[in-house]
Amino acid sequence: MAYNRVYLERLQLTVEHLHKCKAVHSATVPVHEVFRGQTVWQGDVEVFDLTGHPKAKRAYAWSHLDGKNDQRERFVAVLEIPPVKSAETAVRVQIVKDSKKK
């Protein structure tokens, strides 16, 4: 799925707002996460280089449909702080975090 400039700007603003630092888009990484033979998440993760954050130099961000009947768009921004060290581990950490909320 090709994302446009507006989408990237919205993700950038989300990262900057949530983590109180400057973010610059640096890459798009396709991620396909499989658990027990089933796809649990598939999509592009946007990588942002950070300046002004006390602990992280990078963040990973994406959006997906959420809520009852997928009626709203949810933005996710995960900092590159251990155990997060890549787009793939950012997705895994967020999946675990979301599953604990349910």
9-57: pLDDT as tens digits: 999 999 999 999 999 999 999 999 998 999 989 999 999 999 999 999 9
CB 57 within 8 A of CB 47: no
Rounded to an integer, what distance in angstroms lies between the CA atom of residue 34 and that of residue 37? 6
Q: What is the mean pLDDT of residues 62-74?
A: 82
pLDDT of residue 101: 74
Q: Where do the domains of the chain lie? A: 5-101
